[in-house]
Structure 1
Amino acid sequence: MNKLVDGFGRRFTYLRLSVTEACNFRCTYCLPNGYRRTERVEFLTVEEIGRLVEGFARLGVRKVRLTGGEPTVRRDIGDIIARVAAVPGIETVAMTTNGWNLARRIADWRAQGLTNLNVSLDSLDRETFHATTGHDRLQAVLEGLDAALALGLRSVKVNAVLLKDTLGPGLEAFASFVRERPVAVRFIELMRTADNPDYFAANHVGGGVVRDWLVQEGWSPRPRERDDGPAMEYLHPGHAGRLGLIAPYAAGFCDSCNRLRVTARGNLRLCLFGNGGVDLRDLLGPEQDAALDERIRTSLFGKTAGHRLNLGEPGDTRNLSQFGG
């Protein structure tokens, strides 16, 4: 029985769990100067992560996504995957990665319990990829993506941030990319954060541009299913994969929210673009299950109806690596 219900009647079955704030890429829209630790901090341990996920599972969460920063910079990421996968009630163990060592490690992660994979891949053009991420590793990421497909994961998706300079050729390239690959590519609107106002103003593209292009090119909306996330996906009869759009600036975007976030420090974020959060780490020791469950459950009544991005208010989110996007 799901016990995670907020004041607006929304039920939460999906946990996005950041395991680190560190990232080894320097994406222009997130960490253009790279990750720089400003203080000594210990992120949640494998056992703390296990106890945390057990608490959410007792309350009705069935899907956990491991995020960062870049989650695979943690040497114990395989142990984390295995610990989460072993929690009773968890049906889906997903991870979002930039793919930097995907080809080398994906078989191990699959064996340890990973069921779903999202790869952040903003461009299929080598020079553009290098300029956007700070690394000339496009071929390695693509090899890892194809290795994941060969392993038969339940779901393999690509996340591509929409940027004004790459919009036109990017849409066409990804449409060709999914012609033979059973991959869902979701174009994500660039989001304003505290650290990127100037970049946002220069590079933001509204999701309507993508929506119009998809319809013009013969793509049709895929019927939504009960547990679908915020992406609206499109199908084309000549393609094995799908294209989709995540448009956080669209009206009603938050109405069907079904996900909660916990940071790498053990803080429950009620909204990605909110302020503050609820500390859970002090309740991740033994014999604290009841107190943990109660704090999680009652915290949900502090969740607002939606973010305030349209008003230019990103909350206290400095960049997306901070809380896992």
Structure 2
Amino acid sequence: MSVLSDPFGRTFPYLRLSLTEACNFRCGYCLPDGYVADGRPVFLARDEVRRLVAAFAAVGMRKLRLTGGEPTLRKDLVEIIREVAGVPGISKVALTTNGTRLPAHVAPWREAGLTALNVSVDSLDRDVFHAVTGHDRLPEILDGIDRALGLGFDAVKVNAVLLRGINDTSLPQWLDYLRERPVAVRFIELMRTNERVDYFEKHHVRAEALERELAAGGWVRMMRAADAGPAIEYVHPDYAGRIGVIAPYSRDFCAGCNRLRVTARGDLRLCLFGDAGVSLRPLLQRDEDRDALVDLIAHQLRLKAAGHGLHDGDSGVTPHLASIGG
């Protein structure tokens, strides 16, 4: 039995590791007033990241996603990518970013060992994008995505949070975008967080309507890979790209959970909306502590719940998505 398994028979080949809580955007559903440093201890250093990834890889983790906040704000990002890509057992290194640094930096990331890229683009309408993020930077981000498509990534994906009254009627624009581009656009159902309850109640829209629209348009559901993220993906013969739907409020969403999370300060979180976490940082200071680190991770997994409490309005200890890596 893999160490990275829980009492419900789920295994966890996929780790989402946050590199920073800082972000340079002001998205309405996350940090509408921008990031404000709180003076607490600094984020994980490169040596800590390397030891963490090596420990998880030794017990079955194969796919690593670097998240934030905005991970590209780390000045040592290229070095981090290079080091984690070289850890034995790691076969996929992905990055989730808002895309502002893509045009200048995506090539060095690829050369360092990045294999997949996710870019957050909540709208293809420049004004709507500006209203959601607080920044009028859509053209350069789209240019960066096009540059990435020529660099041989295993996957280039775009994430769009579904927002009622803002972008929930934008499917035709995305279909035009996907017709000739081999990009996977994933529509993410808005999730309730503790600091954005009012925003959630105003803008939450269930994903079922979108899924019915896709089915009516001839889109066909794909089989899900063992180390894939939570998206249900659809394909269509007339389009180069794919469409994914992430619907955390759907029935049995948590049954297919295959990912763990570690925050930028080194806390293991068993669920994006869990009630608590445990600090791994004391065991990230020496290579000699790997066995103890593995034992702690295995012990925590025995405590993993069957699912989240979002249906009951319980967002756990997550104040906003940037605090845990989304």
Q: Which residue of 1 aligns with 2:5?
A: 5
Cα displacement string for residues 209-255 of structure 1 (whole angstroms, at most 9, x for unaligned residues) = 11111112221112333333221111111100001100000010000
Q: Which residue of 1 aligns with 2:269?
A: 269
Letter in 1 for 2:312: L
Q: 2-side partners of 1:217 and 1:33: how far apart? A: 39
SS of residue paired to 1:147: helix
Matched, 1:102 2:96: no
Identity %: 57
Written as runs of structure 1 = structure 2, the 5 A alignment for 1:1-325 is 2-286=2-286, 287-325=288-326
Question: Which consecutive residues of structure 1, in runs of 5 or more, have no partner in the other structure?
Answer: none
TM-score with structure 1 setting the length: 0.98
1:168 deviates by 4.6
Q: 1-side partners of 2:51 and 2:306: how far apart? A: 29
1:170 deviates by 1.5
Cα displacement string for residues 13-44 of structure 1 (whole angstroms, at most 9, x for unaligned residues) = 00000000000000011000000112232100
Residues matched between the structures, number: 325
Q: Do the aligned residues in 1 keep the contact of 2:16 with 2:259 (CA within 8 Å)? A: yes
Letter in 1 for 2:90: I
1:81 deviates by 0.6
Q: 2-side partners of 1:253 and 1:61: how far apart? A: 21
Q: 1-side partners of 2:43 and 2:33: how far apart? A: 22
Q: 1-side partners of 2:223 and 2:63: how far apart? A: 21
1:138 deviates by 0.1
Cα displacement string for residues 116-171 of structure 1 (whole angstroms, at most 9, x for unaligned residues) = 00001100000000010000000010011011101010110011000112345421
SS of residue paired to 1:78: helix
Q: Do the aligned residues in 1 keep the contact of 2:162 with 2:168 (CA within 8 Å)? A: no
Letter in 2 for 1:106: V
Q: 1-side partners of 2:83 and 2:168: how far apart? A: 42
Letter in 2 for 1:297: A
Q: 2-side partners of 1:166 and 1:152: how far apart? A: 33
Q: 2-side partners of 1:284 and 1:229: how far apart? A: 26
Q: 1-side partners of 2:222 and 2:309: how far apart? A: 28
Q: 2-side partners of 1:179 and 1:95: how far apart? A: 24
SS of residue paired to 2:302: helix
SS of residue paired to 1:304: coil
1:12 deviates by 0.5
Cα displacement string for residues 248-296 of structure 1 (whole angstroms, at most 9, x for unaligned residues) = 0001000011000000000000111012211100001221111111111
Please report the RMSD computed on the Cα atoms of aligned residues, expressed in angstroms: 1.0
Letter in 1 for 2:300: S
Q: Do the aligned residues in 2 keep the contact of 1:189 with 1:206 (CA within 8 Å)? A: yes
Q: Do the aligned residues in 2 keep the contact of 1:2 with 1:61 (CA within 8 Å)? A: no
TM-score with structure 2 setting the length: 0.98
Q: Go from structure 1 to structure 2 and tell me whether the alpha carbon gap of 1:169 and 1:251 turns closer, same or farther (over 3 Å shift).
A: closer
Question: Which consecutive residues of structure 2, in runs of 5 or more, have no partner in the other structure?
Answer: none
Q: 1-side partners of 2:278 and 2:270: how far apart? A: 8
Q: 2-side partners of 1:28 and 1:139: how far apart? A: 20
Q: Do the aligned residues in 2 keep the contact of 1:2 with 1:13 (CA within 8 Å)? A: no
Q: 1-side partners of 2:284 and 2:250: how far apart? A: 37
Letter in 1 for 2:51: R
Q: 2-side partners of 1:166 and 1:174: how far apart? A: 15
Q: 1-side partners of 2:150 and 2:307: how far apart? A: 39
Q: 2-side partners of 1:266 and 1:130: how far apart? A: 33
1:192 deviates by 0.2
SS of residue paired to 2:323: coil
Letter in 2 for 1:203: H
